[in-house]
Amino acid sequence: MVKKQIIKSDYDRARVVEESIISEAQANGFSDVDVFAIRLALEEALVNAIRHGNRLDPHKKVTVEWCVRNKELEITIEDEGKGFLPNAVPDPTQDENLERPGGRGLMLMKAYMDCVEYNKQGNIVRMCKKLHCCGK
Amino acid sequence: MTQDKPRLTIEEVGGVKIVTLSDQRILDELSIAKIGKHLNDLVLQNPKIKIILDFVNVTNMSSSALGMLITLHKRVREAGGELRLCNIQPTIQEVFKITRLDEIFQICVSKGEAIDSVE
């Protein structure tokens, strides 16, 4: 069953949704290592939606949908911002970017989830994590 | 929220400041900003500071926390000081490795090793 929550652009509210998704992942048998990965990716995606997407505008909403089916957790996060071009984000692991304080969120999401996809506008991200029988 | 709880504790051993991060999860933007300000003030007040950040309590970190550490690293370096990180749990160690930040920071296995490396 797909679950859905629409929240204000507020970190505390985002964290409540985050805990709901983490609880569901744990209840469905995701390992501690997978839960660490899901929490990290969720945190980055929600902060991106609130800070970069909605620019902390309290009138703009973030819509979060998630479900576990076919041994996979799928999460979709939509903000009301203009979107961005994921491919235009500089690679933070390049030598010249290593000491830049920002720009690692998207990279971590991709590293820790099995799939990370954006819509054309760049304001909706879909992430998935497969359930591994013995941890990843 | 735990706004009033101290975010870090500071002790001094042989001229080395040892800062233990209190929170399990360093995710919240406001908390990260507060930790960053506290550490920045410490560097400003102590030229050529030798500082160890102890991650023994930390189980989760965000990219914002990494950004705060990078800024701290630059400030310590500019002040002629030394920074070490220690007691980083394997899952977080992996985050440092994936982002190649293990090449920027000097990461020690234990507090003792960190103290030895700056003395």
Quick: pLDDT tens for B51-106.
999 999 999 999 999 999 999 999 999 999 999 999 999 999 999 999 999 999 99
Instruction: Return the C-alpha torsion angle A32, A42, A136, B84, nearest 10.
Output: -80
Rounded to an integer, what distance in angstroms lies between the CA atom of residue B106 and that of residue B104? 7
pLDDT beyond 60 at A40: yes
Q: Which residue of A has its CA nearest to B71?
A: A101
Determine, for residues A12 and B1 on separate chains, whether the beta-carbon distance falls below 8 Å.
Answer: yes
pLDDT at A126: 98
pLDDT at A135: 46
- ipTM for the predicted complex comes to 0.91
Would you call B32 exposed, middle or buried from its count of C-beta atoms within 10 A (0-12, 13-18, 19+)? buried
Instruction: Return the C-alpha torsion angle A39, A44, A49, A53, nearest 10.
Output: 180
Give φ, ψ of B51 to 5 degrees. -130, 135
pLDDT beyond 90 at A64: yes
Question: Which of A17, A98, A112 is the best substitution to test chain B (most B C-beta atoms within 10 A)?
Answer: A98
The pTM score is 0.92
Distance from CA of B100 to the nearest CA of A (A): 6
pLDDT at B29: 84
Q: What is the DSSP letter of B85?
A: E
Which residues in B lie closer than 8 A to residue A13 (C-beta atoms)? none
pLDDT at A132: 77
